[in-house]
Amino acid sequence: MVVAGDFRNGVTFEMDGNVLQIVEFQHVKPGKGAAFVRTKVKNVITGAVLERTFNPSDKFPTAFVERKDMQYLYADGSLYYFMDMESYEQMPIDESKLGDSFAFVKENMEVKVLSYKGNVFGVEPPFFVELEITQTDPGFKGDTATNATKPATLETGAEIRVPLFIEEGDKVRIDTRTGEYMERA
């Protein structure tokens, strides 16, 4: 059982027949009245994000989400194929279940495939990946405004904003959770 007072980001639990995951939480203790927990929860099956408040003493059954290491192989139309690293079985996953952060995954990269009771609902890439810049405009001398950035296209086709000194062919480290440039690799 999970108690609402113990909520943390990433905790999964069952409520009203749905599997929910905590995206954000805040414990609130107002001057008057009882304390409560304000949360943003994501329905892991449908992907819907809701804002809910809970009494800190509310209890919910824990939902055990299986995270399996798999290797991304290739895409064929709207199906993306992954290989189990232990049994070498291939599993097709529909494009709708991949999420926005999958734009930073290239072929042969290891990811975590998320499932609940055998139903795959998401793919979690590594938190940080190193990718090559395939297209960006050159930076101009004198254009040194604070935190100036320019658009750049990565080898996976995703677009991000990078500092002016980054050039085509450079390898950069990306945070897949936010889609932001971290540093030159």
Count other Cβ atoms within 10 Å, centred on residue 16.
Answer: 6
Distance in angstroms (rounded) separating the CA atoms of residues 14 and 179: 29
Coil vs helix vs strand at 4: helix
Tell me, which fold does domain 66-124 have in CATH? OB fold (Dihydrolipoamide Acetyltransferase, E2P) (2.40.50)
**Which pLDDT value is given to residue 145?**
61
Host H or E run for residue 83: strand 79-84
Domain residue extents for the chain: 2-60, 66-124, 128-184
Instruction: Look up the CATH superfamily of 128-184.
Output: Nucleic acid-binding proteins (2.40.50.140)
Between the alpha carbon of residue 169 and those of residues 9, 100, 106, 149, the distances in Å are 36, 24, 16, 17
Sheet holding 49-54, edge to edge: 12-15, 18-28, 36-43, 49-54
Host H or E run for residue 161: strand 159-163
CATH classification number, 2-60, choose in 2.40.30.10, 2.30.30.30, 3.40.50.300, 2.60.40.2470: 2.30.30.30
Same fold, 66-124 and 128-184: yes
Mean pLDDT by 10 residues, the chain (185 residues): 86 88 88 90 83 91 88 91 91 84 90 85 87 86 70 91 89 89 87
